[in-house]
């Protein structure tokens, strides 16, 4: 029988987790990665201007802004800039830049915050507005709720004429970002390694940073889709195996040491090994986290409850430890800062090196991989020593108003098992686990299993999906 103390702690965790989810759910415009929408249908200059004014009412001082290469980015940027200046803020425009370059520019200066115009990996008709806090991390959702309240109440501040903001441009921000990365790498060892690498920038913002970084490091660089283009003509900008077919082929055909791919705003990096094989994001996360820990013995890595155990296996083997948080890179980044972790991230290729900055950092991730392969040998050999786990993801509909009760009922029903209630309900089952989480943005629950074999991962996901569906319909 479960002890009353356990139940008490469980319900406390549920409340804590649910409270966070509820605050996040108050957001009507901001999603997990800023405000996103189809341009001309939800996302337009009127919204950009008024949101710019709302941001400028909450964040006061000098604000850095940058954009990806989307056809609509310049137009939306001008509107946000006007809103920021109209509320009395000075603006520094760094132009076309990866999201982490904008974040670096904010974190390493006296700026009060930043704005990035991007829709990351979404199709070209989308665009988005992401807000950055003064320390370079993505804005906390409580501040996003405040920006939305001002937007919907039309409570934006309007500065008098003599307080209107000034606009300056900064064409050196990407160069400083590159120099910052180089300053943390063993440039001599990389230059002496004779590595050949293929970089696929998906015609995105990474085009203006990563090829330059790698050639500065003395790497023999071959580029694919490294001309910024508003409609992503090379391939859709999500770095999936299907979208990276040309990269995988190029790596083998020219005998490259590995391949690098970014998403549209280059905050994420996915790798292809020397045999042309697509490397799943949890495996590159594990290798780089293990490498970071090996350079700082006894240090900590932050991942999320949804991250495969491959990360903790490799980190532990290298003498480090892992702390898991709720899903979402801003949560990971803040926890890293709080506990002094050296490395963190998620399995989608969004990795964070604390020494550089507290955000997903595509070019930094690429640089670290170059250094590791230069030091330790072929990527495929390094991967041979990384255990394999199988994961299955399922989802099912559930009305938003029922989500809280469904989660509480799940905890009750599964209380005999070992549970982790950091984010949703993670239930351990015979050495494997299943994570059952409500979506913060859609009326659905996700069921995510991990096991040593595909069959076991399938059967676990189906088993707990059955339990979940029974609760939803009851
Ligand atoms: Mg991105």
pLDDT in tens, 251-295: 999 999 999 999 999 999 999 999 999 999 999 999 999 999 999
Residue 397: the pLDDT is 96
CA of 349 to the centre of ligand 1 (A): 9
Q: Residue 442 — pLDDT band, cuts 50, 70, 90?
A: confident
The answer to whether the 32-171 and 176-384 domains have the same CATH topology is yes
Mean model confidence pLDDT for the chain: 93
Domain boundaries, the chain: 4-12+389-473, 32-171, 176-384
Q: What is the mean pLDDT of residues 162-177?
A: 98
Residue written as token pair 């803040």? 334
Percent of the chain with pLDDT over 90: 89
Q: What angle do CA 35, 36, 39 make, to 5 degrees?
A: 125
CA of 266 to the centre of ligand 1 (A): 6
- The alpha carbon torsion through 11, 16, 19, 21 (nearest 10 deg) reads -100
CA of 400 to the centre of ligand 1 (A): 27
Q: What is the mean pLDDT of residues 115-124?
A: 96
Q: Residue 1 — pLDDT band, cuts 50, 70, 90?
A: very low
Q: How many Cβ atoms sit within 10 Å of the Cβ of residue 158?
A: 12
Six-digit token pair at 181? Answer: 């990365």
CA of 267 to the centre of ligand 1 (A): 5
Give the distance, in angstroms, between the CA of residue 444 and the centroid of all CA atoms in the same chain.
21
CA of 33 to the centre of ligand 1 (A): 9
Tens-digit pLDDT profile for residues 174-214: 999 999 999 999 999 999 999 999 999 999 999 999 999 99
Active site residue 299: no
CATH code matching the domain that covers 4-12+389-473, chosen among 3.40.50.300, 3.40.47.10, 3.60.15.10, 3.30.310.50? 3.30.310.50
Tens-digit pLDDT profile for residues 27-51: 789 887 899 999 999 899 999 999 9
Q: What is the mean pLDDT of residues 241-247?
A: 98
Could you tell me where the DSSP H helices lie in 118-216? 141-152, 173-182, 187-193, 210-216
Residue 28: the pLDDT is 85
Is pLDDT of 314 > 50? Answer: yes
Q: Residue 13 — pLDDT band, cuts 50, 70, 90?
A: very low
CA of 334 to the centre of ligand 1 (A): 18
Q: Is 420 exposed, middle or buried (0-12, 13-18, 19+ CB in 10 A)?
A: middle
Q: Which residues pair with 324 in a beta bridge?
A: 303
Topology (CATH level 3) of domain 32-171: Alpha-D-Glucose-1,6-Bisphosphate; Chain A, domain 3 (3.40.120)
CA of 265 to the centre of ligand 1 (A): 5
Task: Out of 112, 120, 294, 303, pick the active-site residue.
Answer: 120
CATH code matching the domain that covers 176-384, chosen among 3.30.590.10, 3.40.47.10, 3.40.120.10, 3.40.50.720? 3.40.120.10
Could you tell me where the DSSP H helices lie in 87-244? 99-107, 141-152, 173-182, 187-193, 210-216
Cα(387)–Cα(225) distance, rounded to whole angstroms? 33
Residue 33: the pLDDT is 81
Residue 440: the pLDDT is 72
Tens-digit pLDDT profile for residues 205-231: 999 999 999 999 999 999 999 999 999
CA of 371 to the centre of ligand 1 (A): 23
CA of 347 to the centre of ligand 1 (A): 13
| The model's pTM | 0.92
CA of 262 to the centre of ligand 1 (A): 8
């Amino acid at each position: 029988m479960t002890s009353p103390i356990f139940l008490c702690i469980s319900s406390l965790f549920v409340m804590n987790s649910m409270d966070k989810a509820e605050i996040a759910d108050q957001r009507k415009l901001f999603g997990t990665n800023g405000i996103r929408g189809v341009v001309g249908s939800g996302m337009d200059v009127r919204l950009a201007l008024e949101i710019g004014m709302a941001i400028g009412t909450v964040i006061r001082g000098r604000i850095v802004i940058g954009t990806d290469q989307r056809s609509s980015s310049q137009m939306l940027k001008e509107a946000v800039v006007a809103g920021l200046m109209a509320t009395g803020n000075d603006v520094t425009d760094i132009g076309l830049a990866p999201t982490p370059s904008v974040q670096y520019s904010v974190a390493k200066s006296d700026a009060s915050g930043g704005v990035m115009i991007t829709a990351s990996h979404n199709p070209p008709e989308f665009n988005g507005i992401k807000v950055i806090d003064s320390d370079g991390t993505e804005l906390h959702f409580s501040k996003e709720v405040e920006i939305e309240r001002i937007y919907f109440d039309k409570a934006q501040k309007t500065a008098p004429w003599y307080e209107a903001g000034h606009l300056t441009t900064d064409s050196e921000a990407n160069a400083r970002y590159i120099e910052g990365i180089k300053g943390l790498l063993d440039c001599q060892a990389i230059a002496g390694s004779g590595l050949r690498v293929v970089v696929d920038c998906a015609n995105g913002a990474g085009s203006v940073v990563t090829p330059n970084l790698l050639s500065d490091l003395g790497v023999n660089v071959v580029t694919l889709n490294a001309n910024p283009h508003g409609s992503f003509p090379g391939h859709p900008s999500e770095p999936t195996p299907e979208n990276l077919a040309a990269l995988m082929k190029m790596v083998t055909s020219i005998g490259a040491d590995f391949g690098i791919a970014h998403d549209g705003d280059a905050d994420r990096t996915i790798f292809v090994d020397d045999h042309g094989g697509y490397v799943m994001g949890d495996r590159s996360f594990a290798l780089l986290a293990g490498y970071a820990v090996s350079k700082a013995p006894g240090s900590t890595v932050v991942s999320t409850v949804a991250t495969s155990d491959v990360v903790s296996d490799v980190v532990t083997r290298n003498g480090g430890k892992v702390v898991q948080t709720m899903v979402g890179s801003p949560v990971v980044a803040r926890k890293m800062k709080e506990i002094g972790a050296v490395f963190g991230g998620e399995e989608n290729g969004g990795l964070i090196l604390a020494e550089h900055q507290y955000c997903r950092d595509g070019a930094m991730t690429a640089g670290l991989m170059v250094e590791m392969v230069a030091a330790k040998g072929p990527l495929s050999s390094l991967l041979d020593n990384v255990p394999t786990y199988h994961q299955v993801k399922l989802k099912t509909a559930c009305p938003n108003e029922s989500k809280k009760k469904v989660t509480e009922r799940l905890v009750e029903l599964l209380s005999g098992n070992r549970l982790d209630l950091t984010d949703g309900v993670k239930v351990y089952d015979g050495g494997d686990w299943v994570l059952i989480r409500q979506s913060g943005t859609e009326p659905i629950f996700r069921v995510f299993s991990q096991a040593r074999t595909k069959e076991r991962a399938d059967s676990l996901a189906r088993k707990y999906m059955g339990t979940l569906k029974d609760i939803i319909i009851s």
